[in-house]
Structure formats: structure tokens, C-alpha cells
Amino acid sequence: SAVISQKPSRDICQRGTSLTIQCQVDSQVTMMFWYRQQPGQSLTLIATANQGSEATYESGFVIDKFPISRPNLTFSTLTVSNMSPEDSSIYLCSAAAGELFFGEGSRLTVL
């Protein structure tokens, strides 16, 4: 298993600003993923964070809006850029350590 720490756990942001979410895993993992969970909905994969290369984005998500860094095998960041109220959601970091484990999530509210 893996223990995943995410911060911030929640934040209230102003429209047009950007926020970076950090994700730290307690062990080295090859695969890290970022998901979004909108209110009352299931999880939607945003991108796969690849160590040493650009992230791989799912349909509907672009690098300019959700830039991702993966500087090493235990850490990743997701930035939500130029936020609008539609970006209000829970953002979840996950890591594949045998199976897929999740951080506690970052609940963003955009006013």
C-alpha cells in the first residue's frame, strides 16, 4: 500500500487565479494520477503524471489549464489555472503501488 498526503485539503479561491495542489507519496511509485470529482459525481481521470516526461492528459483536459509536474518518484503537483466556478471540485491524487490508492483530496471552491 501507499500513504499519500495532499495539500491543501481545501481552499476558497477567486475567479481568475491559479492554485497548485501538492501530492507526496511515502514510497517511490512509477504511476501517479490526478482525478477530479465534481459534486455528486464519480471520479474523472485528468491526467497521468509521468516522471521525467510530460503528463498524459485525458480527453477534455489540457496542459494549459491543468499543468502537472512530476519531478521525482514520490511527488507531483497539479495546478488549476485561471479558475472559474466550474472548477469547484475535489481534486484527488492517486498512486499505483500494486493497486491504486488515493490521497485525502483537495476541495476547491471558486467564487
Least distance (Å) from another protein to the CB of residue 29? Answer: 13
What is the Cα–Cα distance from 7 to 106, expressed in whole angstroms? 7
Provide the terminal-to-terminal Cα distance of the chain, rounded to the nearest Å: 37
Stretch that binds another protein, among 17-25, 69-77, 80-88, 91-99 (CB under 8 A): 91-99
- Binding to another protein in span 3-62, by CB under 8 A: 31, 33, 35, 41-45, 48, 56
Q: Edge-to-edge strand order for the sheet containing 4-7?
A: 4-7, 19-25, 75-80, 68-72
Q: Per rule CB under 8 A, is residue 103 in the interface with another protein?
A: yes
Least distance (Å) from another protein to the CB of residue 16? Answer: 27
Residues that bind another protein (CB under 8 A): 31, 33, 35, 41-45, 48, 56, 92, 94, 99-105
